[in-house]
Structure 1
Amino acid sequence: MSHLSLQQPFEFLSQLQHNNNREWFNEHKTTYQSAHHIVIAFAEQLHHALSSSDHIETPNGKKSLHRIYRDVRFSKDKTPYSTYFGGGFRRATAALRGGYYYHLEPNHTSIIGGFWNPSTQDLLHIRKQIQQDPDVLRDILNSQSFKTNFGSLEGEQLKTYPRGFDPEDPAIDLLRYKQFLVRHTFANKESLSENFAQIMAEQFKNMRPFLDYMSEILTTDLNGESII
């Protein structure tokens, strides 16, 4: 994997944060295109590294990138451009659930993995599976690797408890989750290193026990039989 630095894209984003308007952007379009080209190369490196350890549906790095142009039609924030570069990779096949998402921004670079918006059916299935044997998920969340790299499980939660479940259930703290997300934030020194794609890919790889557990419970019934 060749060396590549995000220094120039970050410099562009820092300027964009203070000049988020079409006139400035058009005047600096060449600078943006140069920064975007570097980010595409970074995404390609990331795609290659991820594909060596997981099955990725997203065909290449470029396809993983989100557009920098914001859709402001239904937003109170009318600034026309995102002040970060970001994207995501989907895992392949019905057996592998979840996705890998990256956010490149000066001093705020991070990755997130997991499940943003499970369907009502999937969410009920996840809760029933966790309720039946919460220790499997607890062991993952309490492992030293998980705590060191991700801290704790993130995501929106119910304030009380889900309908149809006992509020005194020993797993109620886990059953309240509506989203199941893990996040890692990088120091700026890391995100500017020339081997950052490999560093990021290693953190994505550290998400695998969590993602594989979620994939397993989403693709089996309460008896452990396949439902796909």
Structure 2
Amino acid sequence: MNKDTLSFLSALAENNSKEWMDANREWYQGTRKGFLETVEALLEELKKVEPGLAGLRPKDCVFRQNRDIRFSANKAPYKNNMGGYFSPGGKKSVGPGYYLHIQPGESFLAGGIWMPAAEELKKIRQEIDYAGEELKNIIGQPAFKSSFGEIHGERLKTSPRDYSTDHPHIDLLRLKSFVVTHSLTDEEVLSDGLVETCLGYYSKMEDFHAFLARAVDDAESGEGII
């Protein structure tokens, strides 16, 4: 990671226009290159424990800097962050993945599945119905809780269809996303140990990911996808 990445993103947030980006294209390209190098280092290490990542390249994992403003009231053309996502199916995978978000004062790493489609969400709920105690044990481990706290994501206000309000795992069944996060300080982001820090926390997500991957496995293979 370039040492001035956060400075660039701060400046971009204050001057979010094509004119400014054009005038600072070299600065952007330098920080982008540094971020890709960090993503490459993470990807190479993750491939050792996630064989499904073998065919991915860094550019397959990094999100575009340009925002899609077609249907947004916010017409700022660029994101004021940099993000990378590592999942066997690439950025469009329906299975769990690891995420790195770089933004001044708001950086974090994350893992899990964000807003799964209806078919995948149904399968995750079925797995919770069948083996919810297993998931509770995973997320209740002291090392997991101290690193990530609770699962984040929108929740239904009532019980999902086909599940009663007194279901023993109703709190998990109400979830619409299954994501855990850990904040990163600006100092951690710019340190030489960023990759090792991320890998350390990603390793604590392995059982969580295994549960989610098992739930959506047949969806990932193409069965039943809408």
Q: TM-score, normalised by structure 2?
A: 0.88
Relative to structure 1, is the Cα distance of residues 57 and 78 closer, same or farther in structure 2, using a 3 angstrom cutoff? farther
Query: What is the Cα deviation at residue 102 of structure 1?
Result: 1.4
Once the two structures are superposed, what CA deviation does each residue of 1:108-154 show, in whole Å capped at 9, x if it has no partner?
A: 11122111232323322222221233210110111011101111111
User: Does the 8 A contact of 2:159 with 2:174 survive in 1?
Assistant: yes
Determine helix, strand or coil for the equivalent of 2:199.
helix
Structure 1 regions of 5+ residues with no counterpart?
Answer: 221-226
Alignment of 1:12-31 (within 5 A): 12-31=8-27
Query: What is the Cα deviation at residue 92 of structure 1?
Result: 5.5
User: Does the 8 A contact of 2:2 with 2:30 survive in 1?
Assistant: no
Q: 1:54 aligns with which of 50, 53, 71?
A: 50
Structure 1 counterpart of 2:165, one-letter code: P
- CA distance in 1: counterparts of 2:149 and 2:103, whole angstroms: 21
Alignment of 1:200-215 (within 5 A): 200-215=198-213
* Residue 164 of structure 1: aligned partner: 162
* Residue 224 of structure 1: aligned partner: none
- CA distance in 2: counterparts of 1:201 and 1:60, whole angstroms: 18
Q: 1:10 aligns with which of 2, 6, 9?
A: 6
User: Does the 8 A contact of 1:12 with 1:31 survive in 2?
Assistant: yes
User: Does the 8 A contact of 1:57 with 1:89 survive in 2?
Assistant: no
* Residue 86 of structure 2: aligned partner: 89
Relative to structure 1, is the Cα distance of residues 57 and 180 closer, same or farther in structure 2, using a 3 angstrom cutoff? farther
Runs of 4+ in 1 over 4 A off after TM superposition: none
Structure 2 counterpart of 1:24, one-letter code: W
* Residue 39 of structure 2: aligned partner: 43
Structure 2 regions of 5+ residues with no counterpart?
Answer: none
User: Does the 8 A contact of 1:53 with 1:205 survive in 2?
Assistant: no
Number of residues of Structure 1 aligned to a counterpart in Structure 2? 216
> Would you say 1:181 and 2:184 are equivalent positions?
no
Q: Which has the higher contact order (CA 8 A, sep 6+)?
A: 1
Q: Greater CA radius of gyration, 1 or 2?
A: 1
Query: What is the Cα deviation at residue 23 of structure 1?
Result: 1.4
* Residue 102 of structure 1: aligned partner: 100
Alignment of 1:142-157 (within 5 A): 142-157=140-155
* Residue 223 of structure 1: aligned partner: none
Task: State the Cα RMSD in Å.
Answer: 2.1
User: Does the 8 A contact of 1:155 with 1:180 survive in 2?
Assistant: yes
User: Does the 8 A contact of 2:47 with 2:54 survive in 1?
Assistant: no
Once the two structures are superposed, what CA deviation does each residue of 1:10-69 show, in whole Å capped at 9, x if it has no partner?
A: 111111111111111111111111111111111111111211222215612222111111
> Would you say 1:79 and 2:56 are equivalent positions?
no
Q: Name the % identity.
A: 31
Determine helix, strand or coil for the equivalent of 1:158.
coil
Once the two structures are superposed, what CA deviation does each residue of 1:74-97 show, in whole Å capped at 9, x if it has no partner?
A: 11100111111112111259xx93
- CA distance in 1: counterparts of 2:97 and 2:167, whole angstroms: 30
